[in-house]
Amino acid sequence: MIEKENLPRHIAVIMDGNGRWAKARGLPRTAGHRAGMDKVKEIVKACGEMDIKVLTLFAFSTENWSRPKKEIDTLMRYFIDSLKRQVDELHKNNVRFRVIGRKEPLPEYLFTKIREAEEKTSGNSGLTLVLALNYGSRQEIVDGVKQFARDVLQRNAALDGMDEEKFGAYLYTAGLPDPDLLIRTSGEMRISNFLLWQASYAELYFSDKCWPDFKKQDLQDAIQEYQHRHRRFGKVKHEKR
Ligand code: FPP
């Protein structure tokens, strides 16, 4: 049973194992991504139903550009297609959509569709769905530091005024709560340059299932496990931060 009053506010997911899922079935890797897309729909719906506030999905990393061009092109096409097809549905379900990551070198058309979807859903108050696209956490931190340095040089910020909370506003995730639960599928036990700053106190949950096999029930198992953990935030007993 999931306790309603102890839900993770923000769940972040590294959706891994699409390629291996496809290979195990004698299918091309892109078939794994296609199946992964369907899974995104299922998990977004489940989070909305469970009243999770923020879901962040790692869809494409800055390192993924080194994959074969054909696979990258297919992924970009899938992102565009699903944005076109799903944005009305997301809007109807009161989902606020947001993308984090660097714009360059995403295809211009994809970027236009992202901006349209963000604008259309910006007033929604249900689940915030964050897609990490061309995202790398170290790059995000470097971008934040550079922006802060610019602000200091232009006298829009004071060096001594900087602290952990203020620095959060310089990250792509500005305004979002930190993830409470970070899930990675496919049996890999790494963070892979994902939300390094934000996930400092997140509970980590690793599932052996490849992403296309990860079901609503698996998400619920992860949440239940989260609810059994004692989060101490470096303190000696269980207290609220
Ligand atoms: C990791 O599996 C998955 C990706 C790099 C792409 C994730 C994209 C999707 C699930 C499609 C999402 C679509 C939308 C619209 C959000 P992998 O290819 O690294 O698998 P492997 O480790 O088995 O090779």
pLDDT at 236: 79
Question: Do residues 50 and 5 make contact, with C-beta atoms less than 8 angstroms apart?
Answer: no
**pLDDT level of residue 241 (50, 70, 90 thresholds):** low
Active site residue 64: yes
Compute the distance from residue 66 Cα to the ligand 1 centre, in Å. 14
C-alpha closest to that of 40 among 216, 223, 188, 222: 216
pLDDT at 232: 78
Active site residue 73: no
Give the range among 72-76, 185-189, 232-236 with minimum mean pLDDT.
Answer: 232-236
Question: Do residues 41 and 230 make contact, with C-beta atoms less than 8 angstroms apart?
Answer: no
pLDDT at 231: 75
Give the range among 26-35, 50-59, 225-234 with minimum mean pLDDT.
Answer: 225-234
State which ligand 1 atom lies nearest to the alpha carbon of 40: 16
Compute the distance from residue 180 Cα to the ligand 1 centre, in Å. 22
The per-residue b/e assignment along 11-44, b for 16 or more CB within 10 angstroms, e otherwise, is bbbbbbbbbbbbeeeeeebbbbbbbbbebbeebb
Neighbours of 175 (CB within 10 A): 9
Compute the distance from residue 156 Cα to the ligand 1 centre, in Å. 40
Query: How far is it, in rounded angstroms, from Cα 208 to Cα 229?
Result: 20
pLDDT at 239: 55
Which one of 14, 16, 74 would you pick to mutate in the ligand 1 pocket, going by the greatest count of ligand atoms within 8 A of its CB? 16
Alpha carbon distances (Å) from 24 to 52, 59, 66, 67, 212: 33, 21, 23, 19, 12
